[in-house]
A and B are shown apart, each in its own frame.
Chain A
């Protein structure tokens, strides 16, 4: 579903934010992307979503090269950023309709999906309000509803659980599982290692721009009694020091 081949990113030709990143995320899996602050997670996600061009390397979404066919590639995913910074002059319903039009979701389906997801995340009564009146958590929920609306095969989320209440967190985890069970893919970054441990099929650990581990959670643990947190701290020790 998502392939990164020899992806590099440098800023100002000096600082290597991402080094020789090779990654393959398969259809039907939840992939957790973890790493310490400044490791290159958000830079990688920005490159996958087309917000930042890689210095070198290729990014393929469902086999389509993002650099050569950006519009076709972008039809294959939806994205929830780490900060819910959206244009707040729209009403919630206008924002969702805008996204539905961009992904060409037909009228009847959009209605059903908007009603379903906004009710699930308890923002259905606020859809007529301007987004500027929303709390941080409500904006996050609106972004998630917007990303679910087109039912794109790949769901990319950068720190999606920040600001969500426990019930919304549970719903989102359920949706991620359902999406993957139906053949979709979820790529998400998080610092909440317990959640990553709980729901991810595979994880990739990035540190100082390099992917240092990419495997199934149980294989990373290798039968030890250590938690994912202990392993994370052990693997990123050099970078911290």
Chain B
């Protein structure tokens, strides 16, 4: 048992070390401030959602349905989180060459790997369930039966989604592993997960309350554990027995399936595809174009980077599409005809979102990791090297903004005010953010990562770049206050010019101050 504990501890440490690396505390005494800020950023949305669900269902006298609603939501969240996670831990991990030769039973290794997925999903489950259970518990006066129910819900709920996720990953691996398309899985489920979170939020905001109660009750029929959970809260022992039996079965099923997944991963890890020699292209390209292309490929060819970029870019389009199709974003509601100024601010805000969320420049150097030396020994100027990074971010984010604009334009056909001034505003803001974020990355290059997620997720650079963004809203605020009577075109152009002026200042700073620092990175 000691061995399995050690193994689990090592797997957990290895997995969570990427988060520690990301916030710059690995190998050092953790800085409480960093940890606190990061944890707040991560947990607040979950806790807020849980409290909202409780308040919503409690006002109709059905807090038990709130538990059922959360149960269905956590089921989907855990399912779509576990699929890429299992994929990465079982199929993408290169620790097999260290683990497999160890004199340990196969079950120990499988259990250690599964424990990481369980801890992660149980963490999500805990964040969502804890506030709602705490609030219901207060009402019930802290009964020990209720405490037992809460404990069971938090510990056991992940088993069913984990079992189904493993079943899916196993099927997908059998079908696709030898075709080298495993990355697709992470990307696909990342997008589904994002759509799910946004959809659930919009449903809570926009749905008719009576219909939502009825909808929750009818969905329980398709997912009985949610119904059992609600009845457990109301004091049903029978539901506890059902719940325990189902999760017991899932646990053993999960272990058996994970063992097979482990074996197939072990098998595939040693297989290399032999491809016939293709006709390669030897066409010369310009140096700068090659640098841009390399920076783009660093994002495109690394599944974690690609997923992160695509998800951040997809958020505004998803928000718009969900809102448009749910009837929240109609021409009438957005006052398209009577207040075109308000509508313009709506679409310009949405089109600016990719630049605001996708702070690619804040990790433009970090993403290269230990391969950073490559471009530094080449006969290209350090300034071109820097500019290529800024322009890669600009290109990606402006493309996403154009897609947002295109989607809104298409949805409202010909009615689309202030196209040029709005686009100018968005482009200049994108350029400014792409340049400013790079300053952060030069200050904190962080090249020594071993897991790509550590390079971009929970990286302090990302948090810092998000932290200064609200300050930029002062520019449009001041401009709109100073010229209240001016037309929207003029206001947007003025803001755009101010953004471009700031960008030029930042670029001068990059050239005269930061360039020397950049040259010293990685030495």
Question: Does A101 lie within 8 Å of B301, measured CB to CB?
Answer: no
Partner of A97, one of B272, B282, B373: B282
In the complex, how many angstroms separate the beta carbon of B451 from the nearest chain A beta carbon?
Answer: 14
A-B interface contact total, Cβ < 8 Å: 102
Report how far A105 CA is from B285 CA in the complex, Å: 10
Return chain A residues, CB-CB under 8 Å to B278: 128
Asked if B379 CB lies within 8 Å of chain A CBs, one says yes
Asked if B381 CB lies within 8 Å of chain A CBs, one says yes
Report how far A106 CA is from B282 CA in the complex, Å: 9
Question: Does B373 lie within 8 Å of A87, measured CB to CB?
Answer: no
Question: Does B280 lie within 8 Å of A93, measured CB to CB?
Answer: yes
Query: Residue on A with the closest CB to B368?
Result: A87
Question: Does A85 lie within 8 Å of B370, measured CB to CB?
Answer: yes
Question: Does B294 lie within 8 Å of A49, measured CB to CB?
Answer: no
Would you list which residues of chain A between 102 and 143 have a CB under 8 Å from chain B? 102-107, 110-111, 114, 124-125, 127-130, 133
Question: Does B298 lie within 8 Å of A103, measured CB to CB?
Answer: no
Return chain B residues, CB-CB under 8 Å to A125: 274-275, 277
Given A51-B373, A94-B297, A130-B301: A75 in contact with B284 (beta carbons within 8 A): no
Report how far A74 CA is from B284 CA in the complex, Å: 20
Question: Does A101 lie within 8 Å of B374, measured CB to CB?
Answer: no
Question: Does A86 lie within 8 Å of B378, measured CB to CB?
Answer: no
B 346-389 to A, binary, CB cutoff 8 A, 1 in contact else 0: 00000000000000000000001111011011111110000000
Question: Does A53 lie within 8 Å of B377, measured CB to CB?
Answer: no
Question: Does B523 lie within 8 Å of A110, measured CB to CB?
Answer: no
Question: Does A111 lie within 8 Å of B282, measured CB to CB?
Answer: yes
Return chain B residues, CB-CB under 8 Å to A52: 520, 523
Return chain B residues, CB-CB under 8 Å to A89: 297-298, 300-302
Partner of B283, one of A72, A86, A107: A107
Would you list which residues of chain B between 112 and 134 have a CB under 8 Å from chain A? none
Asked if A3 CB lies within 8 Å of chain B CBs, one says no
Would you list which residues of chain A between 172 and 191 have a CB under 8 Å from chain B? none
Question: Does B370 lie within 8 Å of A133, measured CB to CB?
Answer: no
Would you list which residues of chain B between 319 and 357 have a CB under 8 Å from chain A? none
Query: Residue on A with the closest CB to B375?
Result: A102
Question: Does A87 lie within 8 Å of B298, measured CB to CB?
Answer: yes
Asked if B26 CB lies within 8 Å of chain A CBs, one says no
Return chain A residues, CB-CB under 8 Å to B281: 93, 97
B 416-439 to A, binary, CB cutoff 8 A, 1 in contact else 0: 000000000000000000000000
Partner of B275, one of A85, A101, A128: A128
Return chain B residues, CB-CB under 8 Å to A71: 379-381
Query: Residue on A with the closest CB to B272?
Result: A133
Return chain B residues, CB-CB under 8 Å to A124: 277
Partner of B523, one of A51, A85, A114: A51
Query: Residue on B with the closest CB to A77?
Result: B377
Given A50-B376, A51-B522, A70-B381: A85 in contact with B284 (beta carbons within 8 A): no
Query: Residue on B with the closest CB to A100?
Result: B284
Return chain B residues, CB-CB under 8 Å to A103: 378-379
Query: Residue on B with the closest CB to A113?
Result: B282
Question: Does A49 lie within 8 Å of B297, measured CB to CB?
Answer: no
Would you list which residues of chain B between 242 and 283 have a CB under 8 Å from chain A? 272-275, 277-278, 280-283
Return chain A residues, CB-CB under 8 Å to B523: 46, 51-53
Asked if A155 CB lies within 8 Å of chain B CBs, one says no
Given A128-B275, A133-B272: A49 in contact with B377 (beta carbons within 8 A): yes
Partner of B371, one of A50, A87, A105: A87
Given A51-B373, A53-B519, A128-B278: A102 in contact with B379 (beta carbons within 8 A): yes
Partner of B282, one of A70, A104, A114: A114
Asked if B234 CB lies within 8 Å of chain A CBs, one says no
Query: Residue on A with the closest CB to B370?
Result: A85
Query: Residue on B with the closest CB to A43?
Result: B523
Question: Does B277 lie within 8 Å of A85, measured CB to CB?
Answer: no
In the complex, how many angstroms separate the beta carbon of A229 from the nearest chain B beta carbon?
Answer: 31
Question: Does A101 lie within 8 Å of B285, measured CB to CB?
Answer: yes
Given A49-B377, A75-B379, A127-B280: A101 in contact with B371 (beta carbons within 8 A): no
Report how far A93 CA is from B279 CA in the complex, Å: 10
Partner of B377, one of A74, A88, A105: A74
Question: Does B374 lie within 8 Å of A86, measured CB to CB?
Answer: yes
Question: Does B371 lie within 8 Å of A51, measured CB to CB?
Answer: no
Chain A contacts to B: CB under 8 angstroms: 46, 49-53, 70-72, 74-75, 79, 81, 83, 85-90, 93-94, 97-107, 110-111, 114, 124-125, 127-130, 133
Chain B contacts to A: CB under 8 angstroms: 272-275, 277-278, 280-287, 290, 293-294, 297-298, 300-302, 368-371, 373-374, 376-382, 519-520, 522-523
* 20 extra interface residue pairs, beta carbon distance < 8 Å, beyond A72-B379, A98-B294: A46-B523, A51-B373, A51-B522, A52-B520, A53-B519, A53-B520, A71-B379, A85-B369, A86-B374, A87-B294, A87-B298, A89-B300, A97-B283, A100-B284, A101-B284, A101-B290, A105-B284, A111-B282, A125-B277, A128-B278
